[in-house]
Amino acid sequence: MSGLNRLGLLEARTLLRRREISAVELARACLAAMERGRALNAFITETPERALAMAEAADARLARGEGGLLEGLPIAVKDLFCTAGVRTTAASRILANFVPPYESTVTAKLWAEGAVLLGKANLDEFAMGSSNTTSAFGPVINPWTPPGTEPGLVPGGSSGGSAAAVAAFLCPAATGTDTGGSIRQPASFCGIVGIKPTYGRCSRFGIVAFASSLDQAGAFARSVADAALLLQAMAGFDPKDSTSADLPVPDWVGELAPRVRGLRIGIPEEYRVPGMPAEIETLWARGAEWLRAQGAELVSVSLPHTRFALPTYYIIAPAEASSNLARYDGMRYGLRVRGRDLVDTYKRTRGEGFGAEVRRRILIGTYVLSAGYYDAYYLKAQKVRRRIVEDFQRAFERCDALLAPTAPSAAFRIGEKSDDPVAMYLNDVFTVTVNLAGLPGISVPAGLSAEGLPLGLQVIGRPWDETTVFAVARALEEAAGFSAVPPRAVEV
């Protein structure tokens, strides 16, 4: 059977349960697609043997009429999730050969539900980036890159490999992490669905930390329903993560319907940023109209501290990162570059082990936490963060969910913003607020730019209300009817 790599999670699950296809066939199709799609550089490590062994085991369970939520379904895992016995690099030289002896809670849950690991997806180094160009394993190519375009378009970041793999039909779904937009922005750039749940919904245990108070795992898929299914398997309380929430996980897939009648959808005024392309403004208005047409009420809301979100984020995230990355010192695991003495060994190890963007953020973070600067930067940023949270609390008194663009542009060329970090950071303008407030957010492909590149719309919900987020996303998905296929999609 050809084209198995094009099946979505739910479609494939139905066929697997009916025994019309086997998990091994499905895995083989994806592995073949991965091989053909290697030019995209979506994977740092492919795990074909493990995939086939897991698929065989899944087939055995399916044959006995058993199996979990994801039995036999192949997925890609962002190479930031520790996988026992499988190299986990965080796309960094410093962890290039690191093989964890433990499994992240999220991936452990996936394997317990019968999912099949295809490989570890490329990303920005330590998830720091918006273009997947900071990976020590090379940039990822967006499958939407038009033929003949060199050097290619970025898939967004940091979960660029995951997004590109799903968009190019290398796999039906993938995990990601989102600290400032790292799931939603690449989902938008690659024309797929990406959900970042409420902070605390998924355990962070075993995920290489970037910024602990912002990091949250989430899911990529080509439909809202598939994303809901994957997230449902990933989510849940974990006593090993003190910030994970002891709340039941709703049956998002079972309850999923494009229901927006009676919902109040907030349109945040402050998200009309200067210089935003007209086509994005148009798309946003069209999205709002789709929801109104399906019975939602549109309300204009104000998030007055929005303009402070980006500087706040770029203080808090690097501050936490500077401390989180201190453990990569060459002493116990990972790269060690010997120097004259201890301090020299530290300097060489970290100087050679970390790429430029990671070093930049460590320096920024170290600076903002330093004596004499702490109050002006870190403490102030925490206060602004509190205001941003309150902005959302007030907005959600007047509406049930917010609609906004996901990113201020479509995918850009590799290298385009690499020499201007501020321009690069502006990519996160609509997404970082959601991380600062710990809210659930989803990006849904809603249309194509004039250049034929996908554009996403973002739905933001109340804390723990992924249910509404999925419902609104599903309504947008239905109205948008997005079915365009990227030029570099892989056929097997």
Partner 1 sequence: MAWTIRGRTGEWELVCGLEIHAQVISKAKLFSGAATSFGAEPNTQVSPIDAGMPGMLPVLNGFCVEQAVKTGLALDAEINKVSIFERKNYFYPDLPQGYQISQYQHPIVGRGRVLLDLPDGTTKAIGITRLHLEQDAGKSLHGAREGVTLVDLNRCGVALMEIVTEPDIRAPEEAVLFLKKLRSLLRYVGTCDGNMEEGSLRCDANVSVRRLGETRLGTRCEIKNVNSMRFVAKAIEYEARRQVELLENGGIVEQETRLFDAAKGETRPMRSKEEAHDYRYFPDPDLLPLELDDALVARLRAELPELPDAKKARFVREYGLSAYDAGVLVAERAAADYFEAVARGRDPKQAANWVINELFGALAKRGLDIEACPLPPEALGELLDLLAEGRISGKIAKEVFHEAFESGARPRAIVEARGLEQVTDVGAIEPIVDKLLADNPAQVANARKNPKVVGWFVGQVMKATGGRANPELVNDLLRKKLGLG
Count of residues touching partner 1 (by CB under 8 A)? 44
Is the sign of the CA dihedral 152, 153, 158, 160 positive or negative? negative
Minimum separation from the CB atom of position 367 to partner 1 (A): 10
Cα separation, 412 vs 432, whole angstroms: 19
Place of tokens 């996901």: 406
Token pair recorded at residue 242? 């003190």
Pick from 241, 270, 297, 352 the residue near partner 1 by CB under 8 A.
241
| By CB under 8 A, residue 45 contacts partner 1 | no
Place of tokens 């663009």: 405
Mind telling me the catalytic residues? 78, 158, 182
Amino acid, res. 18: R
Pick from 18, 64, 371, 422 the residue near partner 1 by CB under 8 A.
371
Is residue 91 left, alpha or beta, with left meaning phi > 0 and alpha meaning psi from -120 to 50?
Answer: left
DSSP string, 420-437: -HHHHHGGGTTTHHHHHH
Helices (H) and strands (E) counted in the chain, each on its own, are 16, 11
Window contacting partner 1 (CB under 8 A); options: 95-103, 151-159, 161-169, 286-294: 95-103
Minimum separation from the CB atom of position 412 to partner 1 (A): 31
Q: Which residues 6+ apart lie within 8 Å of 336 measured at CB?
A: 330, 345, 349
Output 243 or 294, the one with its CB closest to partner 1: 243
Output 205 or 425, the one with its CB closest to partner 1: 205
Minimum separation from the CB atom of position 364 to partner 1 (A): 13
Q: At what angle do helices 224-234 and 105-112 cross, to 10 degrees?
A: 110
- The tally of CA atoms less than 13 A away on the side-chain side of residue 489 is 18
Beta strands 116-121 and 43-46: pairing type? antiparallel
Output 257 or 326, the one with its CB closest to partner 1: 326
| By CB under 8 A, residue 82 contacts partner 1 | yes
Minimum separation from the CB atom of position 305 to partner 1 (A): 21
SS3 of the chain: helix, strand, coil, percent, to 5: 40, 15, 45
Q: x/- contact string, 188-227, with partner 1 (CB under 8 A)?
A: ----------------xxxxxx-xxx--------------
Q: x/- contact string, 312-341, with partner 1 (CB under 8 A)?
A: -------xx-xx-xxx-x-xxx--------
| By CB under 8 A, residue 123 contacts partner 1 | no
CB 298 within 8 A of CB 288: yes
Output 189 or 199, the one with its CB closest to partner 1: 199
Minimum separation from the CB atom of position 83 to partner 1 (A): 10
Pick from 90, 424, 434, 475 the residue near partner 1 by CB under 8 A.
90
Minimum separation from the CB atom of position 109 to partner 1 (A): 15
Instruction: Count Cβ neighbours within 10 Å for each residue of 184-222 and write b for 16 or more, e otherwise.
Output: bbbbbbbbbbbbbbbbbbbbbbbbbbbbbbbbbbbbbbb
Applying the rule CB under 8 A, the residues between 242 and 281 that interact with partner 1 are 242-243
Q: Which residues bind partner 1 (CB under 8 A)?
A: 81-82, 88, 90, 95, 98, 100-102, 104, 204-209, 211-213, 239-243, 319-320, 322-323, 325-327, 329, 331-333, 342-343, 346, 366, 369-371, 374, 378
